[in-house]
Amino acid sequence: MSKLLRRALKISLWPAFLMILAKLLGIVIVGMVYDLEFFIDNNINGIYSVQIYFTDFNTTIFVNSISNLVMLGFLAIPTFYFIIKTSIYQSSLQNPKTIVKITKLNILNWITKKDTSFLLIFLWTSFLTLTSGIVILQTIQGNCYTWVGIVAGVISLLSIWGTIKTFELETDNIYPRDNRYY
């Protein structure tokens, strides 16, 4: 197994784990806060053998929408964190003014090379886009509130845009756009 594949698998474990954990936490927390009645059934005929059922269809949509929102938040916050951190790091390599601003804000130790890689951002954005796609699909099917689907779409577009901008910054280090370097 190549080093890149091994590293990609290692990075992918956290977003996958957070995706599942956030969905379950969203369901449990909403169920506990609103004291909702539910039951768990084991259906061996389908793809998902263990299913959670609520007593009312509106309750199901409410719990699904809030748990989807929690899942989006759990994936969006680290994704945007990595995008911003890597963008600042790449900008500091190209512009000394950025280093001065970072030093004035006392966040120089925060900007390091060890966790500012494009692979990390790409994988987190992929999981966030996948999650957003699932939420949008559930919104289209009527199993989630419309506003949650819109939020998912906006978050997905912003993360893709941030990933593309980060990629452009990283490739500018390898292939500068200025003709004076040639």
The pLDDT of residue 114: 64
Answer whether 102's CB lies under 8 Å from 111's CB. yes
CB 74, CB 21: distance < 8 Å:
yes
What are the tokens at 61?
């949509």
The pLDDT profile of the chain, 182 residues, written as one tens digit per residue, is 889 899 899 999 999 999 999 999 999 999 999 998 888 888 777 666 777 888 889 999 999 999 999 999 999 999 999 998 888 887 777 777 877 888 788 877 777 666 668 889 999 999 999 999 999 999 999 999 999 999 999 999 999 999 999 888 777 766 666 655 54
156: left (phi over 0), alpha (psi -120 to 50) or beta: alpha
Which stretches within the chain are classed as H helix? 3-33, 57-94, 96-104, 118-141, 146-174
> Please, are residues 71 and 26 in contact by the beta-carbon 8 Å criterion?
yes
pLDDT of residue 65: 96
Q: What is the pTM of this model?
A: 0.85
- What confidence score (pLDDT) does residue 115 get? 65
Domains of the chain, residue spans:
3-181
What integer pLDDT is reported at residue 182 of this predicted model? 47
Is residue 135 within 8 A of residue 149, CB to CB? The reply is yes
Q: Is 140 helix (H, G, I), strand (E, B) or coil?
A: helix
Largest CA distance in the chain: 69
Is residue 52 within a helix (H) or strand (E), and if so which, with residue range? strand 50-54
